């Protein structure tokens, strides 16, 4: 094609549609003033590529492609690559498509236009686009505005929706800026008051207001009983305890948690007179007791891992609104029951209660449906005596494993013998999902020949995978990747699917960052000794959902098998695994996760063992397993990342 404007590349059905390719051809013809049908046909056949040309020969056999006209060849390939879809199905897809979360108005409209392509709406297209935009916008404010318009056209609806979307973003930016300005002004006012007053407010210790402006001016101190200040700044040497009532019985109670103020207060059971008794949870001054980290435990609530602070002073269990929203899908979230329970903060302020709800809780083989109180915000979740009793927890064991008593490495490991069992673990919770466009063309490859010397080893590995329920045989499949046997140092074989030929070409890559070395070093900074925990058959401990299994089918000389679990070789597997394990261990300091290696440290041996106990507890609760022979405990150095 010397002296031609532009070039025409071979057709690739994986990256473009046949219609797009034909449009490129037409532009090429126009740019080079090629109008002769015979020449257009010759260019098509010479540039379309060997695979597509071979396909044409098969479709026309025994007739040669050169005997057909350009239009006939184009129509033939169009019918093959883009068969006309069902108009009924396409209209169903169009009419059921709503705007997704995070999708802009323009992106939503672009999707609607694409879906309408084969709906055959004709002159009613703009009217149908208008109706679907209004009904599927998924924004009450925009929807009300559009429905209030008379003689609404599609162009007008799009313009209004875009304007409201932009205005909403601008308002958020202004509010954020106003919040920063307001904070700066408050800081400035505080510095002025400090300069003039010379000290903090004696009623509450706050630096941002004067004593005559303090909201605790009428508050009664829970230490000395006098009015006008709170216990935190009380200077009295005498003290009283908060007295509350339950069923007519007078009771005194002060609870301290490691020198930290408790976030919530809870009442116990209702009294006989059905009145709401309140037990206020306070803290002592930091100088009176040493700081101790709160006792924490992770429980499976509706199959989601939720961390709780153990609080035996609470009769009920409390969960924050942020964690509550994760327990159900948005459309399945139950309505909260009205709850007359009263909660207070340590300063005596009323804490709003959103309501109560029943949840399914799992702990060491015990499964119970238990009530939980939901409060707004992101404060810590509190595990009360009710759940502790119902789940059969032994308080002494929790107390010991959290580090209140001096721990030793044998103590920690002896509490988690189940974690080091030889059997394959299985993560509790929702299965992993591989996202593939439902319209993607299936890819099937035949099994590759296995060297005779490795055939027996491959068959042994297939038997092991079947025995451990890692794979299962299938009779037929639209998807199949050939396997690649890899010889391991112990002379056994690992089977890996060559998924770059199949699912990796069409799946959406999981977007989750694998930590950099700098991130790992920052997390472990300050540690004196290091523990490395190695996951046993790491990826295989995460189950796959039913829809994803068909994409990871492998073809062997023994037949077709599909993976029940997350396989090696799928491009999204590392990100899925990293996200899952970080979720299990979230919130733990001095703990770093790098794929199947978990590193634990601490500033001293005691803190190290406390962190190790909490990590092992979470992994065991999650149903996972570690390979004991590959774990290293409390060494001066460990190797966890090898550059090849």
- Using the predicted structure, report yes or no on whether residue 507 has a pLDDT greater than 60: yes
- Per-residue pLDDT band for 130 (boundaries 50, 70, 90) equals very high
Quote the tokens at residue 184.
């700066």
Lowest-pLDDT range, 19-23, 350-354, 380-384, 475-479?
Answer: 350-354
H/E/C letters for each residue in 21-42? HHHHHHHHHHHCCCCCHHHHHH
Which among 143, 138, 136, 135 is positioned nearest to 160, based on CA atoms? Answer: 143
Partners of 366 in the β-ladder: 363
Residue 267's pLDDT is what? Answer: 38
- Phi, psi (rounded to 5 degrees) for 332: -110, 5
> In the structure, how many helices (H) and strands (E) does the chain have?
19, 19
Quote the tokens at residue 345.
């903060």
User: Are the C-beta atoms of 349 and 230 separated by less than 8 Å?
Assistant: no
- Using the predicted structure, report yes or no on whether residue 238 has a pLDDT greater than 60: no
Which among 534, 538, 593, 533 is positioned nearest to 425, based on CA atoms? Answer: 538
User: Are the C-beta atoms of 91 and 117 separated by less than 8 Å?
Assistant: no
Residue 398's pLDDT is what? Answer: 53
Residue 279's pLDDT is what? Answer: 38
Residue 404's pLDDT is what? Answer: 44
How far is 18 from 52, CA to CA, in rounded Å? 11
- Using the predicted structure, report yes or no on whether residue 520 has a pLDDT greater than 60: yes
- Using the predicted structure, report yes or no on whether residue 185 has a pLDDT greater than 60: no
Q: pLDDT higher for 330 or 446?
A: 446
Mapped onto helix, strand or coil, the DSSP state of residue 284 is coil
- Using the predicted structure, report yes or no on whether residue 208 has a pLDDT greater than 50: yes
Lowest-pLDDT range, 123-132, 287-296, 560-569?
Answer: 287-296
Residue 258's pLDDT is what? Answer: 35
How far is 374 from 355, CA to CA, in rounded Å? 6
Could you give the angle at which helices 70-81 and 50-60 cross, rounded to 10 degrees?
Answer: 100
State which H helix or E strand residue 368 sits in: strand 366-375
Burial of 229 (0-12, 13-18, 19+ CB in 10 A): buried
Strand 529-534 with 632-635, pairing: antiparallel
Quote the tokens at residue 421.
């069992």
**Arithmetic mean of pLDDT, 267-282:** 36
Residue 607's pLDDT is what? Answer: 86
How far is 40 from 24, CA to CA, in rounded Å? 13
- Phi, psi (rounded to 5 degrees) for 251: -145, 145
- Using the predicted structure, report yes or no on whether residue 273 has a pLDDT greater than 70: no
How far is 328 from 261, CA to CA, in rounded Å? 31
Residue 298's pLDDT is what? Answer: 83
Q: Omega before 559 cis (within 30°)?
A: no
- Using the predicted structure, report yes or no on whether residue 496 has a pLDDT greater than 80: yes
- Using the predicted structure, report yes or no on whether residue 242 has a pLDDT greater than 60: no
Partners of 368 in the β-ladder: 361
- Using the predicted structure, report yes or no on whether residue 560 has a pLDDT greater than 50: yes
Quote the tokens at residue 524.
């472990």
How far is 638 from 599, CA to CA, in rounded Å? 9
Mapped onto helix, strand or coil, the DSSP state of residue 456 is helix
Q: pLDDT higher for 98 or 322?
A: 98
DSSP state of 539: G
> Which of 170-184, 207-221, 279-293, 440-454 shows the highest mean pLDDT?
440-454
State which H helix or E strand residue 193 sits in: helix 154-197
- Using the predicted structure, report yes or no on whether residue 184 has a pLDDT greater than 70: no
Q: Which residue has the tokens 């995978």?
A: 465
C-alpha distances out from residue 116 to 91, 159, 437, 596, Å: 7, 20, 18, 46
Q: Which residue has the tokens 């597997």?
A: 573
Q: Omega before 62 cis (within 30°)?
A: yes
- Using the predicted structure, report yes or no on whether residue 416 has a pLDDT greater than 50: yes
Q: Which DSSP string corresponds to 581-614?
A: HHHHTTT-TTEEEETTEEEEEESSHHHHHHHHHH
Lowest-pLDDT range, 308-312, 392-396, 640-644?
Answer: 640-644
pTM: 0.42
Give the Cβ contact number of residue 632 at 10 Å. Answer: 15
Which among 117, 116, 77, 120 is positioned nearest to 96, based on CA atoms? Answer: 116
**Arithmetic mean of pLDDT, 452-469:** 87
Q: pLDDT higher for 476 or 179?
A: 476
- Phi, psi (rounded to 5 degrees) for 615: -65, -50
How far is 132 from 579, CA to CA, in rounded Å? 36
Residue 561's pLDDT is what? Answer: 92
- What is the gyration radius of the CA atoms in the chain, in angstroms? 33
- Using the predicted structure, report yes or no on whether residue 285 has a pLDDT greater than 50: no
Residue 291's pLDDT is what? Answer: 45
Give the Cβ contact number of residue 404 at 10 Å. Answer: 14
Burial of 148 (0-12, 13-18, 19+ CB in 10 A): exposed
- Per-residue pLDDT band for 313 (boundaries 50, 70, 90) equals low
- Using the predicted structure, report yes or no on whether residue 479 has a pLDDT greater than 80: yes
- Using the predicted structure, report yes or no on whether residue 253 has a pLDDT greater than 60: no
C-alpha distances out from residue 263 to 135, 312, 363, 575, Å: 43, 14, 25, 35
User: Are the C-beta atoms of 509 and 572 separated by less than 8 Å?
Assistant: yes
* Residues in Cβ contact with 639 at an 8 Å cutoff, skipping those fewer than 6 apart: 532
Lowest-pLDDT range, 156-160, 247-251, 486-490?
Answer: 247-251
C-alpha distances out from residue 80 to 11, 65, 90, 394, Å: 14, 15, 19, 67
Burial of 534 (0-12, 13-18, 19+ CB in 10 A): middle
- Per-residue pLDDT band for 256 (boundaries 50, 70, 90) equals very low
- Using the predicted structure, report yes or no on whether residue 113 has a pLDDT greater than 70: yes
- Per-residue pLDDT band for 475 (boundaries 50, 70, 90) equals confident
- Using the predicted structure, report yes or no on whether residue 598 has a pLDDT greater than 70: yes
- Per-residue pLDDT band for 284 (boundaries 50, 70, 90) equals very low
**Arithmetic mean of pLDDT, 601-614:** 87
H/E/C letters for each residue in 93-152? HHHHCCCCCCCCHHHHHHHHHHHHHHCCCHHHHHHHHHHHHHHHCCCHHHHHHHHCCCCC
* Length of the chain, in residues: 644
* Residues in Cβ contact with 159 at an 8 Å cutoff, skipping those fewer than 6 apart: none
- Using the predicted structure, report yes or no on whether residue 270 has a pLDDT greater than 70: no
Residue 243's pLDDT is what? Answer: 32
């Amino acid at each position: 094609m010397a002296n031609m404007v532009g070039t025409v590349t071979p057709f690739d059905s994986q990256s473009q549609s046949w219609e797009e390719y034909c449009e490129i051809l037409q532009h090429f013809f126009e740019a080079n003033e090629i109008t002769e049908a015979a020449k257009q046909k010759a260019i098509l056949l010479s540039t379309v590529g060997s695979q597509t040309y071979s396909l044409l020969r098969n479709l026309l056999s025994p007739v040669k492609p050169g005997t057909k006209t350009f239009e006939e060849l184009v129509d033939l390939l169009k019918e093959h690559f883009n068969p006309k879809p069902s108009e009924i199905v396409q209209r169903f897809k169009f009419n059921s498509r709503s705007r997704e979360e995070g999708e802009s108005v323009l992106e939503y409209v672009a999707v609607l236009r694409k879906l309408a392509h084969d709906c055959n709406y004709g002159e009613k297209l703009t009217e149908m686009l208008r109706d679907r935009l209004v009904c599927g916008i998924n924004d009450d404010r925009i929807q009300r505005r559009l429905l209030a318009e008379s003689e609404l056209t599609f162009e007008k609806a799009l313009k209004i929706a875009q304007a409201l979307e932009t205005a909403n973003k601008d308002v958020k930016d202004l509010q954020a800026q106003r919040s920063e300005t307001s904070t700066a002004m408050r800081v400035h006012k505080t510095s002025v008051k400090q300069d003039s007053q010379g000290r903090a407010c004696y009623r509450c210790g706050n630096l941002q207001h004067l004593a005559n402006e303090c909201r605790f001016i009428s508050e009664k101190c829970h230490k000395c009983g006098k009015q006008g200040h709170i216990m935190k700044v009380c200077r009295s040497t005498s003290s009283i305890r908060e007295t509350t009532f339950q069923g007519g019985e007078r009771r005194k109670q002060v609870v301290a948690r490691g020198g930290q103020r408790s976030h919530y207060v809870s009442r116990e059971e209702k009294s006989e007179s059905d009145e709401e008794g309140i037990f206020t949870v306070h803290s002592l001054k930091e100088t009176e007791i040493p700081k101790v980290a709160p006792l924490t435990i992770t429980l499976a609530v509706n199959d989601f891992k939720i961390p709780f602070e153990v609080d035996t002073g609470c009769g009920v269990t409390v969960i924050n609104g942020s964690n509550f929203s994760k327990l159900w899908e948005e459309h399945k979230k139950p309505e909260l029951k009205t709850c007359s329970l009263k909660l207070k903060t340590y300063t005596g302020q009323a804490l709003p209660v959103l309501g109560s709800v029943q949840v399914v809780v799992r702990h060491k083989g015990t499964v119970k449906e238990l009530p939980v109180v939901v409060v707004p915000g992101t404060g810590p979740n509190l595990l009360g005596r009710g759940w502790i009793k119902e789940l059969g927890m032994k308080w002494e064991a929790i107390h010991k494993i959290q580090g209140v008593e001096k721990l030793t490495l044998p103590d920690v490991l002896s509490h988690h013998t189940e974690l080091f069992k030889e059997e394959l673990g299985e993560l509790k919770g929702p299965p992993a999902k591989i996202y593939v466009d439902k319209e993607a063309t299936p890819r099937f490859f035949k099994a590759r020949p296995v060297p005779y010397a490795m055939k027996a080893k491959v068959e042994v590995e297939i038997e092991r995978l079947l025995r451990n329920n890692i794979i299962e045989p299938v009779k037929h499949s639209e998807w199949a990747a050939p396997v690649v046997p890899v010889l391991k140092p112990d002379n056994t074989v690992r089977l890996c699917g060559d998924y770059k030929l199949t699912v990796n070409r069409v799946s959406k890559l999981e977007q989750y960052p694998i930590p950099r070395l700098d991130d790992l070093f920052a997390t472990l900074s300050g540690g004196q000794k290091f523990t490395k925990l190695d996951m046993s058959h790491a990826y295989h401990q995460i189950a796959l959902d039913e829809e994803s299994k068909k994409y990871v089918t492998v073809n062997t000389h023994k037949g077709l098998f599909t993976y029940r679990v997350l396989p090696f070789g799928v491009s999204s597997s590392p990100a899925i695994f990293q996200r899952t394990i970080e979720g299990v261990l979230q919130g733990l300091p001095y703990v770093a996760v790098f794929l199947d290696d978990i590193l634990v440290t601490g500033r001293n041996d005691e803190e190290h063992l406390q962190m190790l106990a909490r990590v092992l507890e979470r992994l065991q609760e999650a149903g996972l397993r570690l390979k004991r022979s590959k774990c290293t405990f409390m060494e001066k150095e460990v190797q966890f990342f090898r550059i090849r």
